[in-house]
Amino acid sequence: MSWNNNWIEAAPLYAQAETLFERSNRPSQALYAHVSQFIPRAEAEPLPALLVELERDLKLPAAREPETRLRILVIRGMIETNYDSAMAAKTWGEVQTLAERRGEFELMARAMGEQGIADFLLGDFSNAKKLVTRAWLTAKTLHDQAAYVRYASLYGAGLVELQRYDEALQWLDQAIDTANKDRGLAYPSIAINTKIDALRGLHRYPEALALADAAISRLPSAHLDAHLFQIETAKGSVYQDMGDWDRATSELVVALGYARHLQYWRGISQTGGLLAIAYERQNDLPAALASIDEAIDANTKVPQELYFSPRNLAIKAEILARMGRDWESHALYEKSMTLVDSFLATAPTPNVERALIEEMSQVYSSYYNVLCNEGDLDAGLKTIEQERGRIEVQALEHHELVAPHEPTGQEMKIMQINLELIKTDSDATRQRLAQSLYQEELQLDDSSLAGATARRPMAVRDIQRHLGPDELLLEYVLDDSQSSVLAITSRSLTRYALPSRKVLASLIAQYRRSIHSRKSDPELAGMLFTGLLGPVKEYAEHRSVIVVPDGVINLVPFAALMDERTYLVESHNFSVSPSATVLCLLRDREPSTLADRYQYVGVAAWTGENEQGPRVTGLLRAISLPQMRQLQPLPQTKKEVETIAGDFPAPRTLLLGPAATESTFKALPLDQYRVLHLALHGYADVEYPDRSALVFAPQKDGHDDGLLEVREVRNLHLKARLVTLSACNTGVGPVGEVDVADLGHAFIEAGAETVVSALWELDDQSTTQLMTSFYKNLASHQTKTEALKQAQVQMMQSGLAPYYWASFEIVGDPAGVL
C-alpha cells in the first residue's frame, strides 16, 4: 500500500506491526513501522515538528539497520518535499545513493524524480526537466505504476505553471486513468488538483469547480489539511479568474488557515500572494499588504525556494505604489526582475524560457505601468523591453554557441517517428506514434543557450537613433483593465491608453473569422483601427509603422485594418519586430560580404512533378498535421520560384520537385545566400511549437524526415538579407503575453535580417501572383516593406478580399533595398 502511495490505508497496519515488533523485541523493525505512519500525520500536524521527530529517530541505535535507515530517509524526504526543497534535494540524493547500493532500482529512480521536483522549486529548470523525465520514463519501463502516476502528475503540474494547459491535460488525464484502473493505487490527488488549475487556465470554470467539489467529497477524512489546502487554493484561483473577488477571498482565507496549521511555508507563500491580489482588487490595501508580508516572510523560512518570490515581490511593489511608497516599490520591482533573470539562465530550451517569461510577465508589465503612471516613460520602455524579444536577442548575441552537428541518436529516432507519422493514415497508429514522439522529444537536450542571457535592453535615445525620420515604432502592452501603446519616433516618446485586453482580443478574433470567410468587413476593420491606432497622433505623420506586438496583437493583419473605409495598406507600410532592441541589433550588424556570394535559392518541393496525388489548382499551402495524403501538389510554386529567380543575377540555386529535399537544402552553404525563398507546405503546431515545420520533398534514401522544424531552424547559421516563407501559418504560434514561438521568429533567431511570413493558410495561385509582384518591386529597388505593400495594393485594387493579400507580414528589419 505504501509503495503505491496509499499511506492512509497502510497506516493502521503499520501501527499494528509496530506493536507486534515491540512485543517481540525487534526495535529496528518497530522503528520502520513507526516512521511509516508519518505521512498521514503530515496531513494534519505541523511539518517542522514531524521533521524534528524524524531526525531524533534517525539517531536511534535501531536506525543503524540499513533498511530502516533508508525508510526513515524516504519518509523525511517526502515531508521535506512539501516543506523545504533544499533539504529535500539533499535527502533524496542520499536515498538515491543508498538505494543504488542495495540494488533497489525502482526506489533509486523515484529518488531521482524527487530531486527533479526540488530542483524545479529551487529554480534549476534544466536539471529538473532531465531528472523528472528520466524518472517518469524509468517508471514506465519498470512498470512502477505508482511512480508513473506521480511523475506524470508532476510533469503536468510543471506544464500548468508554464501555462501549457492542453498539453498538461493529456498527461494529467493519463495519470488519473492509470490510478482509476488499478485499485491498489492511491487516489491521484496531485493530478486532480492540477487538473483543476489546467481547466481554470482554459477558462472552463464550471468544470474546474465541479472537479474541486468532487475531490473534497472523495476525501476519506475531514482532517486531511494538506489535501484541503490544495483544493481550496485551486477554487480560490478559479474565482479570481472569474472576477468573483468575494468568493475568491473566502476560499483563499480557508486555504491559508490550513497552510498555517501545517506550517507549510511554501503554501503560505503561494496562497498568501493570491490572497493579497484579491484584497487589492477589493481596494483593501492594508489587508493586501499584511497578506503579502506574510507570504514573503514564509519564503524566508525556505530561502532557497525562489519560484514564488518574484511574483510576491512584484505584488507587494504594486501595493506599495498604490499607497504612495514609490521608493520602496521600485526597489522591490528591481529585486523581482533580478530573480526572474536567474530563472531564465537555467531554462533548458528556448520554449521553456519563453514560457517562463510569460509566466513572470506580470512582474515586468506591473512595473512598466507604475513607471509610466509616474511619468517616467523612458524607464517604462526599458522595463518592458527586458521581456520583449528576449529569446531573439539572446540567439542573435550568442548564436556562435549553437554549433552544427550530426544528428544525435535521439534526433534520429524523432526523424524516424516523423517519417512513420507522415506515411500512415491510421488514426490508432498516429496516436501511438504521437506518444512515442512526445517521449523522445522530452529527452532532447537542447541546452546550447542555457546560461546565456540577453544583454540589457537599449535606452530610448539609442532606439530613436536607429529610427528613420518617417518611421514610427509602436510598442503595445495589454492589460486586463486598460492597455496602452508607446509611440516612439526619432524625436519623441508618447504613451496612449487603449481598450482592455479582453475587448481587443474579442475584436481581433471576430475580424480574423471574418477574413477567413473571404469577405470584407469594413465595420470590424474600422473598430480595430480605432482600438489599436486611433489615439496615436504620430500615426498620421509617419508612413512606416513598426509594430512590437503583445499577446493576440501578434495575429493582427495591420495592413487590412481600415481608416474611414480605406485599407491602411494604401497609405502606410507595416512591419513587425519582436522588440525594439531586436530591431536595433539587426540594424547594427556588420554587412557580410559572404552573404552576397550566392544571390538566391528558391525551393518548391510540391510542384506536381513525379508526385502522387491529383493535379489540382486552388490548393492551400497548409496541412493541419503532417500526413502524406494531405501533401497535395502546389503547381504554382514552380512558376513562382523560377519567375523570381529571373529577378536575380547569378549565381542562383533552384531546388524543384523531388530534388527539393531537406537534406539537399541543409547541405547548401546557407550562410552565404542573400535571399532564401521557400515555397512549401507549412505546418503550424500551436500546442508543441518546436514541431512547426516547413515540409520538403520526400527523400528515398537518407536520414531526414523532410520536416524542417522550428528547433532545427534555430540551429541554422544564416546571414540572409531576406527569407520568404511562402507557406501557410509560418507566422502563427502559441501566442503568449509577450511573444510567439513560430517559424518566422525562428529564422530571425537563426540570423536572418528580414523574414516574410504568413498569418493564415494561403491560396496557391494568388500567393504566386503576390510573390512575383513583391520580387519585381524589390528588383526595382523598392524597400522590403514598400515592395510588399505595393504588391498587396495591386491585389487589393483588383477586388480581392483581405484573405488573399493581407496574410503576409514583414518580421525583423523592414528597411533597406536588396
732-767 residue pLDDT tens: 444 443 344 578 888 998 999 999 988 887 777 888
Q: Is residue 228 part of a domain?
A: no
* CATH number, position 559: 3.30.420
**pLDDT tens, position by position, 167-218:** 899 889 999 999 999 888 888 989 999 999 999 999 999 999 999 999 998 8
The total of structural domains in the chain comes to 2
**pLDDT tens, position by position, 264-277:** 999 999 999 999 99
Q: Is residue 777 part of a domain?
A: yes
**Residue 748 shares a structural domain with residue 789:** yes
Q: Which residue has the higher pLDDT, 115 or 449?
A: 115
Q: Is residue 257 part of a domain?
A: no
**Residue 613 shares a structural domain with residue 508:** no
Give the end of a domain, one of 576, 605, 622: 576
Q: What is the pTM (predicted TM-score) of this model?
A: 0.80
* CATH number, position 780: 3.40.50.1460
Q: Is residue 298 part of a domain?
A: no
**Residue 641 shares a structural domain with residue 562:** no
Local structure of 682: helix, strand or coil: strand
User: Phi, psi (5° rounding) for residue 104?
Assistant: -95, 80
**Residue 546 shares a structural domain with residue 695:** no
Q: Is residue 142 part of a domain?
A: no
**Residue 521 shares a structural domain with residue 600:** no
d(CA 239, CA 211): 14
**Residue 547 shares a structural domain with residue 638:** no
Give the end of a domain, one of 547, 576, 605: 576
Q: Which residue has the higher pLDDT, 533 or 671?
A: 533
User: Phi, psi (5° rounding) for residue 64?
Assistant: -75, -20
**Residue 683 shares a structural domain with residue 781:** yes
**Residue 531 shares a structural domain with residue 642:** no
Give the end of a domain, one of 543, 576, 609: 576
Q: Work out the burial of residue 77: count CB atoms within 10 Å of its CB; fewer than 13 is exposed, 13-18 middle, 19 or more buried.
A: buried
Cell of 360: 513572470
CA distances to 57, 77, 115, 175, 189 from 150, rounded to whole Å, are 27, 15, 13, 7, 9
Cell of 118: 526540488
Strands (E), 631-672: 652-656
Q: Is the pLDDT of residue 125 over 60?
A: yes
Averaged pLDDT for residues 115-127:
84
Q: Is residue 427 part of a domain?
A: no
Strands (E), 225-296: none
User: Phi, psi (5° rounding) for residue 808?
Assistant: -75, 140
**Residue 659 shares a structural domain with residue 766:** yes
**Kind of pairing between the strands at 808-812 and 754-758:** antiparallel
Closest CA to 73 of 46, 129, 101: 101
Q: Is the pLDDT of residue 222 over 80?
A: no
Q: Is residue 319 part of a domain?
A: no
**Residue 564 shares a structural domain with residue 621:** no
Closest CA to 666 of 641, 694, 635: 694
CA distances to 39, 465, 477, 536, 570 from 541, rounded to whole Å, are 69, 18, 22, 10, 15
Owning domain of residue 561: 466-576
Amino acid letter, 239: Y
Cell of 724: 520568404
**The predicted structure's pLDDT at residue 162:** 74
**The predicted structure's pLDDT at residue 627:** 55
Q: Is residue 208 part of a domain?
A: no
Q: Is the pLDDT of residue 451 over 60?
A: no
**Residue 483 shares a structural domain with residue 597:** no
Contact call for residues 93 and 111 (beta carbons, < 8 A): yes
Q: Which residue has the higher pLDDT, 562 or 220?
A: 562
Residues in contact with 286: Cβ distance below 8 Å, sequence separation at least 6, in sequence order: none
**Residue 681 shares a structural domain with residue 778:** yes
Name the percent of the chain lying above pLDDT 70. Answer: 88
